[in-house]
Chains A and B, each alone.
Chain A
């Protein structure tokens, strides 16, 4: 039932692209970026996953943007990405020459309404997104070999994470939604060290984002030391985080697992919270934001450019290894759903804040 979602999405995107191309004055778009430099601000350090993805996309943007601009990836780390995003809010002009490329580390504090946040992410204009899927897997020692087994493991489940308000949030919300009995150990300094702990047998349930899953966990699955259970899922045509992750069509999404366990589609504030945070973390995992007030012409240029990159055989071939083979999502597929995810209802926000401060002792 989910296999149809993808072609439909592409079709509707293509129609939007065509619409955009007609609307934009071609003469202006042709050389819009000629002789210009686009600065892509990555609010994390060099060598991190976001930096690597930005560098991976750099040559494709240079090749396909009209006028072939120079694309320059700049890092502005600090404050768990908040400093870089604050800098962008205060300094970036809406001329399409400065882009903020970031992850849920920037959006979660925004959604939660933390004090340090000076940026208005929902007012910015997303230019494109690169999905950043994740797979949740368990140790075979737990005796779990299917999602149903999560409810009755042979041994207590123990999960290692970084911090509740960081990239662990959607996973913790999924555990909450599925009502699983899992001991959470927070304080690892990255997903890599958390995975090492899983390999040592200290924890027995873990998740990894697609690139790390491909390079590290696939081998463990083949060797029989890890059992994949589910993915975070991707946003389907209905705008809900219900579809399967396109990189892992064999594994069910959290949505499906809930249906399997409880015999009905998930709903209520717990689902809304997971959907809001999960969509931003997985489906719109890496999103390029243009400043508030960026004119439509520039967004149309990106719309066409993203479509061209997705068509580029070189991209299709290289993205398989580098970013898990995801296609880029153009603004037309991102804007509405991302905006909803960034501005959840007060009820959801309150639920998140209460959960974080009461269950995970987060000081908001």
Chain B
């Protein structure tokens, strides 16, 4: 197989060499438990605190507001369950139709009736055809019974950004907790939580060039909190379990790198993404962009090609070493296409043929040009095989 061209960074990212280097001593020499009383163990505690400061700095938070977790999913579970636990009299949850399964499926589970108690009332806010939320919808959904509003910052499939500041401000005005799943946004868009009306925020290491198995939850100072994992006194009694020191150090280093590279994400990566997007929309007849063209992550593009199927596109790209993903049904084993694209009202015919490219700072112009060279013939080939789309081709010829 030819050299890998990795354009699936919303799924996971390469671990940065600097990050590998930073964590290595903690896989070897410094294996002590930071809770130990002896110097050998105790000395690693300060590296954890250093990492905490690095994470806090990237998102504009105070170090004590950062809790290390095992992944984005744990952060989301912790935040949502905590909000419900500290508001036992409130039985209403608000989220959106396009959340990641870590929020979507958890909320669905909470809404189901349990053996002992009634389920929570769940409101899922609609999005428009560009994947955008209407603030007024949140205003209408809020009531005295609402325990929590949880809205993602950036959508993993389309990259669409939600107006977090406005959503949070509305919740704060009503005295309702606001959580955002910012797994895709952290490190890609600037954020300063000190100035934002956000109570809790989830982030994940492996989306920003740290290894898998580490995440963090931001909990604003003064927010009532109830731990999810109960155990030792670690993380100031907010998350039990011996700290995975190498991973925490790795996340610290990765966030430090992300802060330095934020400008590059916003400029060079954005230019590469735009080059890819414009090229594909031009070269593949009938291709359409999914999601708002401006209110979007700089690294993500989601394009639908009608009359062809996503898995087939991906496997043919795979032959060229190009890694991307799709909202098509066939790629996941479910039979229906992406819930995000369906919520946006993307026709099934287009949703089945959607391809998502998500870039990182490691991508180059040559790689993008290679995709632009390889993908249009793949689409043409699959259209030749497909029984649909004849009329379009006929029109193109004329």
Partners in one complex: no
Which positions in B face A, CB cutoff 8 Å? Answer: none
Which positions in A face B, CB cutoff 8 Å? Answer: none
